[in-house]
A and B are shown apart, each in its own frame.
Chain A
Amino acid sequence: MTGIGVLVWLAVGAAIGLAAASAVALATGRRGWQELAWAFAAALLGSFAWSEWFGDFSRWGGEVGGLQMAPAVLGAAIVAGLYALGLVLEGRGETTTR
């Protein structure tokens, strides 16, 4: 990724991470904002993973500075969504320590 690609990647991650944290905050009342950093991390990693590792198989939506746009947005949305879902499940006392 070049400079503009990195900037778009950060913007995509921040926007989708914020959306995921907002969804959790709406659903649970308060925890979402405490976990904002993790929401950003999940969105950024999901975006990077799909665009960089699997971008060759999904070159739709164009490319900006080496970032495959559609895979970047979808990857961020899927991983941030799984994070939000997992956080809600954790709130129910769901752990795997039994």
Chain B
Amino acid sequence: MAERRRAAQAVVPEPLARAFISPAFAWLWLVARAYLGYQWLEAGLHKVSDPAWMSGGTALKSFWERAVQVPALPARPPITYDWYRDFLQFMLEREWYTWFAKLVAVGELAVGIALLLGAFTAIAAGAGAFMNLNFMLAGTASTNPVLFTLSVLIILAWRVAGYWGVEGLLRAALPGGEPGRTVAQALRRLASARQPFSRGHREVS
């Protein structure tokens, strides 16, 4: 076990590894989650209140129609990969935009809420990253590269990304959860007399 830990430390410097596993850096992921969650929530709310997305999916239909266009040379098509253009064309021909638009709108909203609450954080970030990837493949850059990068970082920090959120509360509350993790206990410790302090990372198991 110690050997495995040493090997991991040789690859990832300790301060960097600490940012992805320690509660001391959970604040960083809370801020990242708040930004990312707010972006998805705003986009999702806009879509679910728009009939072009929720009734008939005409908004998504026009997006797909623009994306699959192949202009005459020397202009370049929005989509680089033929297989992705074929995939969108396949869905367009079968009028799948009627239900797919609702899926996108509700999905964006759900990802936003989950990230803001810190519930199913890594799964939500993964779903968000997948949507960003699809928007980018369809030729839309916009904020997608930044949101995608943040999502990947949150996935990497899955252990602590939801620490200040629902996941952190559940860890303390569930049977077999980790005692000492609650905010009240930490506050008691802060209020108590000066105590020796050691980092005391536990073994990865």
Question: Which A residues have a C-beta under 8 Å from some C-beta of B?
Answer: 23, 26-31, 35, 38, 42, 45-46, 49, 53-54, 79-80, 82-98
Question: Which B residues have a C-beta under 8 Å from some C-beta of A?
Answer: 21-28, 30-31, 34-35, 38, 159-160, 163-164, 178, 180-181, 183, 186-187, 189-192, 194-205
Q: How far is the CB of A97 from chain B (nearest CB, A)?
A: 4
Report which of A83, A84, A91 forms a contact with B200, defined as CB distance below 8 A.
Answer: A91
> In the bound complex, how far is the Cα of B27 from the Cα of A28, in angstroms?
19
Whether A94 contacts B178 in the complex (CB less than 8 A), given A85-B190, A86-B25, comes out as: yes
Q: Which residue of B lies closest to A30 (CB)?
A: B197
| A95, B23: Cβ atoms closer than 8 Å | yes
> In the bound complex, how far is the Cα of B27 from the Cα of A94, in angstroms?
15
Q: How far is the CB of B43 from chain A (nearest CB, A)?
A: 15
Q: Which residue of A lies closest to B164 (CB)?
A: A82
Dominant SS among interface residues on chain A: helix
> In the bound complex, how far is the Cα of B192 from the Cα of A91, in angstroms?
14
* Chain B residues with CB below 8 A from A96, complex form: 21-23, 159-160, 163
> In the bound complex, how far is the Cα of B38 from the Cα of A26, in angstroms?
36
> In the bound complex, how far is the Cα of B183 from the Cα of A82, in angstroms?
10
> In the bound complex, how far is the Cα of B186 from the Cα of A93, in angstroms?
12
* Chain A residues with CB below 8 A from B189, complex form: 27, 88, 92
Whether A90 contacts B30 in the complex (CB less than 8 A), given A27-B189, A85-B190, A95-B21, comes out as: no
Q: Which residue of A lies closest to B20 (CB)?
A: A96
Report which of A45, A87, A91, A94 forms a contact with B31, defined as CB distance below 8 A.
Answer: A45
Report which of A29, A53, A86 forms a contact with B197, defined as CB distance below 8 A.
Answer: A29
> In the bound complex, how far is the Cα of B192 from the Cα of A88, in angstroms?
12
> In the bound complex, how far is the Cα of B159 from the Cα of A18, in angstroms?
28
> In the bound complex, how far is the Cα of B5 from the Cα of A97, in angstroms?
11
Identify 27 residue pairs between A and B in the complex whose beta-carbon atoms are under 8 Å apart, listed by A's number: A23-B190, A27-B191, A28-B194, A28-B195, A28-B197, A29-B196, A31-B197, A46-B31, A49-B34, A79-B31, A82-B26, A82-B27, A82-B30, A85-B23, A86-B23, A86-B26, A87-B24, A88-B189, A89-B181, A90-B200, A91-B199, A92-B189, A93-B202, A95-B22, A97-B202, A97-B205, A98-B202
Whether A86 contacts B163 in the complex (CB less than 8 A), given A92-B189, A95-B23, A96-B21, comes out as: yes
> In the bound complex, how far is the Cα of B192 from the Cα of A29, in angstroms?
11
* Chain B residues with CB below 8 A from A46, complex form: 27, 31
> In the bound complex, how far is the Cα of B54 from the Cα of A9, in angstroms?
42
Report which of A30, A45, A53 forms a contact with B38, defined as CB distance below 8 A.
Answer: A53
> In the bound complex, how far is the Cα of B26 from the Cα of A86, in angstroms?
7
- Nearest first, the 5 closest Cβ-Cβ pairs linking A and B are A28-B197, A96-B159, A93-B200, A86-B23, A86-B24
> In the bound complex, how far is the Cα of B164 from the Cα of A84, in angstroms?
13
19 extra interface residue pairs, beta carbon distance < 8 Å, beyond A45-B31, A95-B202: A27-B190, A30-B197, A49-B31, A79-B30, A80-B27, A82-B26, A85-B186, A87-B24, A88-B186, A89-B180, A90-B22, A90-B24, A91-B199, A92-B180, A95-B201, A97-B159, A97-B202, A97-B205, A98-B205
